[in-house]
Amino acid sequence: MVKIRRSVAYKAFVKNKAGLFGAVVVALIVIFGIFAPLLAPYDPTAQDIPNRLAKPSIDHPLGTDQYGRDILSRLIYGARISLVVGILSVLIGILIGVILGLVAGYSGGFIDLLICKIIDVLMSFPMLLLAMAIVAILGTSLVNSILAVGISSIPRFARLTRGQVLVLKNTEFIDAVRALGSNPVRIVFLHLLPNIVSPIIIMGTLYIATAIIMESNLSFLGLGVQPPTATWGGMISDGRAFLRSSPWVSTIPGIAIALSVLAFNMLGDGLRDALDPKLKDEQ
Partner 1 sequence: MSRVLMRTLRDLFLISFVLVSFSSVGSTENILKARLLGNISTIDGAKINQVNDHVIAENVYSHLVRYKPGSVDIEPDLAVSWTISRDGKVYTFNLRKGVKWHKEFGGFTAKDVKYSIERTLDPKTKSPNAGDFSLVDKVEVIDDYTVRISLKEPYAPFLTVTLPYRAGWILNQAAVEKFGSEYGLNPIGTGPFIFDRYIPGTEVVLSANKDYYAGPPKLDRIVFKPISEETVAEIALERGDIDIMYFRSPEVYQRLKVKKGIVVEEKTGPGIYSLVFNIDKKPFSDPRVRKAIHHAINKDQIVKYILGGIATKGTNVLPPNFLSYTEAVTQYDYSLEKAKGLLREAGFGEGFKTTLYYSQLSPWPLVVPVIQEDLKKVNIDVELKGLEHASLMSFIRARKHDFGVQPMLRPPDPDMIFYLMFHSKGTFNATGYRSEDENIEKARVEMSLDKRKAIYVQLQKKVVEDSPTIPLFYLKVLVARKPYVKGHPVDLLNGFWGYSTYIEK
Partner 2 sequence: MSRYIFRTIFSALPTLIGVLTCVFLLTRLIPGDPALLILGENAPQEQILQLRKDLGLDQPIYVQYFHYLYQVFHGNLGISLRTERSVIKEIMDVLPYTTELAIAGIFVSVIIGVPIGVISANRRNTMTDFVAMTFAILGVSMPVFWTGILSTLLFSLYLGWLPAIGGGDPANLIDRILHLILPSTAIGMAASAITARMTRASMLDVLHQDYIQTARAKGLEELKVLYKHALRNALIPVITVVGLNMGRLLGGTIVTEIVFARPGMGKLLVDAIYARDYPQVQGVVAFFAAMVIIVNLLVDLAYSIADPRVELS
Positions in the binding site for partner 1 (CB under 8 A): 45, 47, 49-50, 52, 66-67, 222, 226-228, 240-245
Q: Which residue's CB is nearer to partner 2, number 108 or number 184?
A: 108
Asked if 151 and 134 touch (Cβ cutoff 8 Å), the reply is: yes
Q: Is 257 helix (H, G, I), strand (E, B) or coil?
A: helix
* Nearest distance from C-beta of residue 179 to partner 2, angstroms: 30
Provide the Cα torsion 222, 223, 229, 235; round to 10°: -40
For residue 223, what are the CA distances in angstroms to 175, 216, 236? Answer: 49, 10, 14
Rounded CA-CA distance 257/263 in Å is: 10
Task: Answer yes or no whether residue 250 interacts with partner 2 by CB under 8 A.
Answer: yes
Partners of 64 in the β-ladder: 70
Q: Is 48 helix (H, G, I), strand (E, B) or coil?
A: coil
Q: Which residue's CB is nearer to partner 1, number 55 or number 186?
A: 55
Q: Which parts of 108-192 fold into alpha helices (H)?
A: 109-123, 127-138, 142-169, 172-179, 184-186
- In the DSSP assignment, the letter for residue 189 is I
Which residues fall within 8 angstroms of residue 54, CB to CB, at 6 or more apart? 60, 63, 64, 68
* Nearest distance from C-beta of residue 188 to partner 2, angstroms: 26
Task: Answer yes or no whether residue 233 interacts with partner 2 by CB under 8 A.
Answer: yes
Task: Answer yes or no whether residue 27 interacts with partner 2 by CB under 8 A.
Answer: no
The item of partner 2, partner 1, none sharing an interface with residue 192, based on CB under 5 to 8 Å by kind, is: none
Binding mask 70-109 for partner 2 (x = CB under 8 A): ----------------------------------------
Task: Answer yes or no whether residue 5 interacts with partner 2 by CB under 8 A.
Answer: no
* Nearest distance from C-beta of residue 155 to partner 1, angstroms: 31
| Residues at the site binding partner 2, with contacts judged by CB under 8 A | 7-8, 10-11, 14, 117-118, 120-129, 132-134, 136-139, 209, 213, 216-217, 220-223, 233, 236, 240, 243-244, 247, 250-251, 254, 257-259, 261-262, 265-266, 269, 282-283
